[in-house]
Structure formats: structure tokens, C-alpha cells
Amino acid sequence: MTDTEKLVVRNLFKVFGDDPQEGVRLYRDGLGKADIFEKTGLTLGVCDASFSVREGEIFVVMGLSGSGKSTLVRMLNRLIEPTAGEIVVNGVDIARMSEKELIEFRRKHISMVFQSFALMPHLTVLQNTAFGLELSAVAKDDREQRAMAALEQVGLGAWGNSYPNELSGGMQQRVGLARALANDPTIMLMDEAFSALDPLIRSEMQDELVALQEEQARTIVFISHDLDEAMRIGDRIAIMEGGRVVQVGTPDEILNNPADDYVKSFFRGVDVSNVLTAGDVAVKQDVVIYERDGNVRAALQRVGKAGREFAYIVDKRQHFHGVVSVTSLEAEAKTTKPELHNAFLSDIEPLKASTSIGEIIGTVAQSPCGLPVVDDNNRYLGVVSRALLLEALNREGAEND
């Protein structure tokens, strides 16, 4: 994920009623949503929403029913016309586009996946997937090739000639996802896309989306009312209440620093093991030895002086190489030609920084030492020990006491 802003929303409003601009004016004058409705009969669906979505991230918008999240996402491609504000994609405000410009923009830059699968029963899976391309007048051979590539991405390459009624619900939603992917969109909007699926299939689709994101890093705005889903797939989350965007942040940021009691109530009782990662918990508090400078006896001396049992070996660029112990160093020191790498413990594997702590509890608990944590480039970030893990897991309980 990069920090480039792909989509920027500024002061966006949607007011339903006969004089929507009056609703915007009254809101800006300080009246609340309920007061405006009582005074004018106007309903504020979205109130002064501002946020940005970075290129290549999954940005989840969540809130309770009636919070404005579905209205918001439909304004992002102008299925619902905004009353006021800006929706800027790649520096262009689509809120100001003509109908012709908007149609072209949708064809090239944005796709949407709905909660309902919306598959046409008389068309094959391949034809359903290619349908948007057909509407865009893409030549048959080209659209079928692109549609098949999209089906392959979601694991349905062998089902191209089947019909929707031959597929399970999860497979039908995969076709809907493939149809959006076939357009090769700059931004993908997903409105409660997995809500109609049973819990097991829903979990599989969430995994599928995250896996696709690892490969392609598309920009995705995902609407959800499910906190577990938001925490599982979202790089960042926007919390909505009463048409307002109350807070935007990573799951960890919102969990630890909720903006108000409404946000805090959302996250009360959240299992932090599904939110925090190994990288969030890791600390550099153990002995670190640079491999090029270390010989076995010097390493043994350093570990002993620090009063530690283990040490972590890195190179000058902080790339992780292995873990040694006092016992393994003492044994290697007795050989005719001691080498530091020969003292590495063979059964210690580093943890990826992105791994949730819920996935590593058993591994850490059974390890004789704190486990090293590395980033995607194998750079050493620190150690996760049993004590650190317990401290992280107890954080929620301590805050609620």
C-alpha cells in the first residue's frame, strides 16, 4: 500500500427533500440533523463527510443501519447525486462531471459489487462476468479473454460455461467479484458484498479478497455493518453515525483511541487478538548481535554479561539470520573451528509482522524464547515473548476495569 491519495472526499452532503440546499445551509449554521428534519422535513443522509482513501488500501466504511454508509458509497460513483461537496479521483472532481463524462469514468475507473449477486440466469458464468465489458462495446474475443482471466483470479476458471443456478451462493458472489475485476477498475466499491452469505462462506470470501489484494493492491471502499469483518479486512476504517464520519483510522488506532463514546461502544468487547499484530507487540529488548562482528566466544560473553539466555543475530542491514542460546554457544565453542551460524537454533522460525497475535498465541507459548518478528523484507523488528503477549491480551480488560 502506498500513501498516495486515490480518492478524496471533501465536505460531502446528501439531503433528501424538496429544498436540499436549505438543509446544507442549516447544518452549516449549526443545526443538528434532528432539528433540521423537525423544522423543514428534510433528511440529511450524509452530513459534511470528509476523508481520503489511499491507493492500494481496503478502506472500510462501517456503522449501524441508517448511519449513511450505503448512501455515501453510492455517491462515490454518483448512483446517488450529492447535494454538495467534492469527490476527487486522481485530481478530478466527479461531482462536477457531465453525464457523458461520468459514463466514461465509470467504464474506465470504477466498479461496484453489491450485496445481491445480480447474475442473469440465462447467461453463462463467463457471459455474466463479461457483461459490463459488453455494455462498454468491448470486442467479444477481448471481453471473454478478460472475463476468463478475472474468473481465474477468483478460482472459477473451470466454471465459465456453467449457469448461475449451478453455483453455490459463495460461488455466485465470486462471479460478481470477477465481473467487477474484469473491468480492471481503478477503484472498486463493495456495498455489504458478503452480507448475504452464511458465516463460513463469508469468511472464505473475506480471505479471498485479502489474498487478491496481496496480488493486485487495488483501491477498495468496502461498506460493512460487521465489526469483525471490518477489523479482518480493513487497512483503515471510517466509523459513521447519523450521516457523519466520526473517526477514521487503522483498527488498532481506533481500538486504542476511540474518538467518542459512540466509537468506544462499537469496540467494546472486541477480541484484540484479531486486531493487534506481531509487529504491534514486538519490542527490541533482547541481545542483538551483528553476525559480521560476532564470533562464538564474544557472543557468549555478551549474552552472559546481559544476563540473558538467548540472543538474536542480524546483519548490518538488520536482516534477521537466527537465534542462539547460551547452551548452543557453549557447545559450539568446544568445537575445533567455532562458527556462529552453527550455533543457530534450528527450531526457531521468525514471525511475520502482519500476523495477528491470535494466530501466534500457541507458538509463542510453546517457544523456549521470545520469537523474532520480521517485516516482508526479513528485517528484524524485535521479539514477541509470552509476557508481552499477555500484556497485549490484557489491555482490553484493564481499560474496562
- The DSSP line for 255-297 is HHS-SSHHHHHHHTT--GGGT-BHHHH-B--SEEEETTT--HH
In DSSP terms, which residues pair with 241 in a beta bridge?
244
What are the pLDDT digits (tens) for 226-256? 887 888 888 899 999 999 999 999 887 887 7
**pTM for this model (two decimals):** 0.69
Identify the pLDDT of residue 401.
43
For residue 2, what pLDDT is reported? 45
How many angstroms separate the CA atoms of 149 and 284, rounded? 45
The domains of the chain, with CATH numbers, are 54-80+97-267 (3.40.50.300), 288-394 (3.10.580.10)
Q: Which of 226, 221, 237 is nearest to 111 (CA)?
A: 221
Low-confidence ranges of the chain (pLDDT < 70): 1-3, 115-117, 196, 269-275, 292-294, 394-401
Q: What confidence score (pLDDT) does residue 270 get?
A: 66
Are the C-beta atoms of 73 and 13 separated by less than 8 Å? no
φ, ψ at 268 (rounded to 5°): -65, 130
| Predicted pLDDT of residue 294 | 65
> CB–CB of 267/255 below 8 Å?
yes
